Chains A and B, each alone.
Chain A
């Protein structure tokens, strides 16, 4: 859209007129978030300038650009709500549009680590407030009354003394010619003035979804587009030796078939054969006519059984890498009244986002255009630059809505594949879709792991020593992605004598972040083991946890980019969930209860699961969840949906999810052998938020990790059977 004139000297703000009059505002507001949000990997998000786009048409319609990728976390409602709040827009008259990828204009555009709310809470509101300020000053000039006499409400400026009330649209053109103020000085509402934040504002895309309108990546359609399938080796990341393509080219609808050379980085591009046809199913079927030979020697011996055998050998040896050592665990062992030790394990699992991985690409005149359902578009662009040597300035990306992400779309191999294929057929748009089978067998899995725990108790049952040795995985000598234990892991900092260590098995299996990465795995193991420890000391887990927490304080993380643990907030959610679930009252006859807590992605969650037997089968009857994500729950309807979904997702992981490998080949391929939760796993779930006085944080992840140990602890409570390995087999 045409931009005119007003760029302030600091380059913070651009204001321009819409073609038909009106105001368009894009603000670049530098901001930093204290200790910093964490990425899905636990690394700090680089502090960045952020941009938002508000335009107001002369008819008063407000259009807000939604900058971040929408994977179902509701960010295309949440972030525009923050702008609309300070703008005093009428939400019913707001149009939300998905922004294309342009980080110079919009700042960080990604969906990961539950970071969007904490990093955008202030700048998005400032963006809305800046727009409101321009409108109010325009009204002040037009009406010849001081700004101080003007108020705003639902897209109208009001002047009480004269009784005037006029739509923002009437001032939009004049406002576009005013100089914006410094974002740091613009007045923001106090929380008691919020009208939209804290309400269940209607998501703008829902009506299109129920009508089946084409808004997902897989729905992208371009004139002359061909559909592609990308055949890879059965073993992950094998090299292509030779491919005979003449048979494929004879198949119905097939227009092209060619090999694509990988760049040695499975996160970017692995060898494969591209088949392009007039319809996706024809490309997919044509793969049966392929005669192809792979060199999969690198996968030999990379089997789940072999990994488990190695882990068994390594578990009770001292860890190869010390992650954290406090006090002297050996000395504590010598004085301990009681020692509890146990092994825990969890498997590799896959994301299974319902919309299979896909990307549409057009390479024409040296320029690459992508329509991509990606959680991290900039990373995809970087991968394409690295893998294909296309200049970044020649790449543009349109963001599409996504049928789920769960972290899988933080890795952009599909974008690179689509680009590599499109590059070989210049001028022809190509839509690459992975089959469900390819999506499952060439995943970036939540890595499996084994833990050897030890707890030392004094004569009063108090925890005086704790050790946790993770046997995980490494590639090229470094822990695999989402498979590294941090020095902050509970109960680090709360026990005098502590040893956290990690040893690794070499692997060629690709791994990656999956909703609450690492937390989703270790929470099960650590909180289940602590339940054992509590019982051994004659307590329940909430009592042990509250003892460990001590006075309300911040227990710092050894990683300065990771927020510390606020023990008061931990206690707050534990006490809340005890109250909600009637923890101190006798449990219902025939049921078992388990509690667990976990802190991840700045969110504090304590959950209680109740189980019972139904026709001899174990069933989850109820779940209570208490969360603390700060003083504001921006959109309660979306928040409750997100928490319930996270809990059911976790239950689904516990009951049946596992990817196993034989010689580097994943053995599961679809929902029949890697099940996700169905509506049969839908207990009553009560959710409450402890609205502590802290800035709001994200909700895509933190409600998931505690449900797995809470479930395992409940099963023990009912049956005496301690679940030390996932998935649960009963």
Chain B
């Protein structure tokens, strides 16, 4: 029996229990280690991945709930225009301290900006509020997201 899920464009099979959170399937079965364990109860956002483009907390998403949805992780988000722009913005703004949450932050921001490239201000902050940065690099996370939003809206107008 088992499950077949599409991760970063590739179908992958596993016989693991359907109740296992996607986080641990990615990490311990598929060796995709960029998705991080922080809380196990959708409180911190370190484990954020995309399911068909929507940001979800993989620690609280059972394997059996993934179905045919396309899973994208931090390892592949750089293949998208928004993902690559965010990764570069993170470097340009020297965002991080420990960096542990940043994969989840980038995944959250990528989903948010893909859905609404013009997002900004309070709305953008609220969209990112589920992601904890324990080092509290929030100013720079916000600035990096805003810079990408700015860039995206400029290209749209061009």
Chain A positions near chain B (C-beta within 8 angstroms) = 70-74, 200, 202-203, 205-207, 209-214, 216, 218-219, 221, 227, 252, 278-282, 352-356, 401-406, 433, 435-437, 637-638, 641-642, 644-649, 652, 670-672, 676-680, 682, 685
Contact status of A72 and B98, CB under 8 A, knowing A352-B134, A354-B132, A685-B139: yes
Interface centre among A70, A203, A682, by most chain B C-beta atoms within 10 angstroms, is: A682
Contact status of A72 and B135, CB under 8 A, knowing A227-B28, A354-B44, A403-B99: yes
B120 interface residue (CB < 8 Å to A): no
Query: Does A221 contact B98, Cβ atoms closer than 8 Å?
Result: no
B1 interface residue (CB < 8 Å to A): no
Q: Which of A202, A278, A682 contacts B139 (CB 8 A)?
A: A682
Query: Does B40 contact A200, Cβ atoms closer than 8 Å?
Result: no
Query: Does B40 contact A71, Cβ atoms closer than 8 Å?
Result: no
**Chain B neighbourhood of A206, CB < 8 A:** 90-91, 94-96, 99
CB-CB contacts of B100-122 with A at 8 A, as 1s and 0s? 11110010000000000000000
**Chain A neighbourhood of B73, CB < 8 A:** 212
Query: Does B36 contact A403, Cβ atoms closer than 8 Å?
Result: yes
Q: Which of B16, B35, B100, B132 contacts A678 (CB 8 A)?
A: B132
Query: Does B136 contact A644, Cβ atoms closer than 8 Å?
Result: yes
Contact status of A354 and B94, CB under 8 A, knowing A211-B75, A645-B136: no
In the bound assembly, the distance between CA atoms of A638 and B43 in angstroms comes to 27
B151 interface residue (CB < 8 Å to A): no
**Chain B neighbourhood of A648, CB < 8 A:** 136, 138
**Chain B neighbourhood of A652, CB < 8 A:** 136
Query: Does A435 contact B40, Cβ atoms closer than 8 Å?
Result: yes
B135 CB, nearest partner CB in chain A, Å:
5
Query: Does A281 contact B74, Cβ atoms closer than 8 Å?
Result: no
Query: Does A214 contact B34, Cβ atoms closer than 8 Å?
Result: yes
Q: Of all chain B residues, which has the CB nearest A685? A: B139
Contact status of A209 and B96, CB under 8 A, knowing A281-B24, A436-B40, A682-B142: yes
Contact status of A281 and B128, CB under 8 A, knowing A209-B102, A214-B33, A648-B138: no
B7 interface residue (CB < 8 Å to A): no
Q: Of all chain A residues, which has the CB nearest B107? A: A212
Q: Of all chain B residues, which has the CB nearest A433? A: B37
**Chain B neighbourhood of A649, CB < 8 A:** 135-136
B141 interface residue (CB < 8 Å to A): yes
Query: Does A641 contact B94, Cβ atoms closer than 8 Å?
Result: yes
**Chain A neighbourhood of B74, CB < 8 A:** 211-212
B152 interface residue (CB < 8 Å to A): no
**Across the A-B interface, the 8 shortest Cβ-Cβ residue pairs:** A212-B34, A72-B98, A403-B100, A212-B74, A648-B136, A72-B97, A209-B99, A214-B33
**Chain B neighbourhood of A401, CB < 8 A:** 98-99
In the bound assembly, the distance between CA atoms of A649 and B136 in angstroms comes to 7
Query: Does B16 contact A219, Cβ atoms closer than 8 Å?
Result: no
23 A-B residue pairs with CB within 8 Å: A70-B98, A72-B98, A203-B94, A206-B94, A210-B91, A212-B33, A252-B17, A280-B24, A281-B20, A281-B24, A282-B17, A354-B36, A354-B46, A354-B101, A403-B99, A436-B41, A641-B135, A645-B136, A649-B136, A670-B39, A677-B136, A679-B141, A682-B138
**Chain B neighbourhood of A436, CB < 8 A:** 38-41
Query: Does A354 contact B134, Cβ atoms closer than 8 Å?
Result: yes
A375 CB, nearest partner CB in chain B, Å:
12
B54 CB, nearest partner CB in chain A, Å:
19
In the bound assembly, the distance between CA atoms of A668 and B84 in angstroms comes to 38
Query: Does B90 contact A210, Cβ atoms closer than 8 Å?
Result: yes
In the bound assembly, the distance between CA atoms of A317 and B19 in angstroms comes to 57
Query: Does A221 contact B33, Cβ atoms closer than 8 Å?
Result: yes
Query: Does A671 contact B28, Cβ atoms closer than 8 Å?
Result: no
Contact status of A671 and B129, CB under 8 A, knowing A202-B94, A210-B87, A281-B20: no
B9 interface residue (CB < 8 Å to A): no
Query: Does B31 contact A221, Cβ atoms closer than 8 Å?
Result: yes
In the bound assembly, the distance between CA atoms of A672 and B90 in angstroms comes to 27
Interface centre among A72, A219, A221, A649, by most chain B C-beta atoms within 10 angstroms, is: A72
Q: Which of B29, B37, B75, B106 contacts A218 (CB 8 A)?
A: B37
Interface of A is mostly: loop
Q: Of all chain B residues, which has the CB nearest A356? A: B37
**Chain A neighbourhood of B33, CB < 8 A:** 212-214, 218-219, 221
**Chain B neighbourhood of A279, CB < 8 A:** 16, 20, 24, 28-29
Contact status of A211 and B78, CB under 8 A, knowing A433-B37, A641-B97: yes
Query: Does B28 contact A280, Cβ atoms closer than 8 Å?
Result: yes
B70 interface residue (CB < 8 Å to A): no
Q: Which of B41, B94, B136, B139 contacts A638 (CB 8 A)?
A: B94
Contact status of A212 and B96, CB under 8 A, knowing A354-B134, A679-B141: no
CB-CB contacts of B39-74 with A at 8 A, as 1s and 0s? 111011010000000000000000000000000011
**Chain B neighbourhood of A637, CB < 8 A:** 94
**Chain B neighbourhood of A278, CB < 8 A:** 28
Q: Of all chain A residues, which has the CB nearest B140? A: A641
**Chain B neighbourhood of A682, CB < 8 A:** 125, 136, 138-139, 142
**Chain A neighbourhood of B100, CB < 8 A:** 72, 216, 354-355, 402-404
In the bound assembly, the distance between CA atoms of A437 and B38 in angstroms comes to 10
Query: Does A404 contact B134, Cβ atoms closer than 8 Å?
Result: yes
Q: Of all chain A residues, which has the CB nearest B106? A: A210
B90 CB, nearest partner CB in chain A, Å:
5
B109 CB, nearest partner CB in chain A, Å:
11
Query: Does B91 contact A679, Cβ atoms closer than 8 Å?
Result: no
In the bound assembly, the distance between CA atoms of A487 and B39 in angstroms comes to 40
Q: Which of A207, A404, A678 contacts B98 (CB 8 A)?
A: A404
In the bound assembly, the distance between CA atoms of A591 and B32 in angstroms comes to 49
Q: Of all chain B residues, which has the CB nearest A206? A: B91
A565 CB, nearest partner CB in chain B, Å:
28
Query: Does A354 contact B38, Cβ atoms closer than 8 Å?
Result: yes
In the bound assembly, the distance between CA atoms of A672 and B75 in angstroms comes to 29
In the bound assembly, the distance between CA atoms of A671 and B74 in angstroms comes to 23
Contact status of A645 and B129, CB under 8 A, knowing A212-B73, A280-B28, A433-B37: no
Q: Of all chain A residues, which has the CB nearest B86? A: A210
B101 CB, nearest partner CB in chain A, Å:
6
Q: Of all chain B residues, which has the CB nearest A210? A: B87
**Chain A neighbourhood of B131, CB < 8 A:** 679
In the bound assembly, the distance between CA atoms of A602 and B136 in angstroms comes to 23
Q: Of all chain B residues, which has the CB nearest A646? A: B136
**Chain B neighbourhood of A672, CB < 8 A:** 41, 43
Query: Does A645 contact B44, Cβ atoms closer than 8 Å?
Result: no
Interface centre among A74, A671, A679, by most chain B C-beta atoms within 10 angstroms, is: A679
- Other A-B pairs beyond A214-B33, A404-B98, 4, CB < 8 Å: A353-B134, A436-B41, A676-B132, A685-B139
**Chain B neighbourhood of A402, CB < 8 A:** 98, 100
**Chain A neighbourhood of B132, CB < 8 A:** 354, 671, 676, 678
Query: Does B135 contact A404, Cβ atoms closer than 8 Å?
Result: yes
Query: Does B135 contact A678, Cβ atoms closer than 8 Å?
Result: no
**Chain A neighbourhood of B125, CB < 8 A:** 679-680, 682
In the bound assembly, the distance between CA atoms of A680 and B126 in angstroms comes to 8
In the bound assembly, the distance between CA atoms of A671 and B130 in angstroms comes to 11
Q: Of all chain B residues, which has the CB nearest A70? A: B98
Q: Which of B21, B75, B86, B139 contacts A281 (CB 8 A)?
A: B21
**Chain B neighbourhood of A280, CB < 8 A:** 24, 27-28
In the bound assembly, the distance between CA atoms of A74 and B99 in angstroms comes to 11
**Chain A neighbourhood of B36, CB < 8 A:** 216, 218, 354-355, 403
Query: Does B91 contact A74, Cβ atoms closer than 8 Å?
Result: no
Query: Does B34 contact A645, Cβ atoms closer than 8 Å?
Result: no
B32 CB, nearest partner CB in chain A, Å:
8
**Chain A neighbourhood of B103, CB < 8 A:** 209-210, 212
Interface centre among B24, B129, B133, by most chain A C-beta atoms within 10 angstroms, is: B133
Query: Does A678 contact B90, Cβ atoms closer than 8 Å?
Result: no
**Chain A neighbourhood of B128, CB < 8 A:** 679
Query: Does A212 contact B75, Cβ atoms closer than 8 Å?
Result: yes
In the bound assembly, the distance between CA atoms of A325 and B44 in angstroms comes to 47
Q: Which of B20, B43, B95, B96 contacts A670 (CB 8 A)?
A: B43
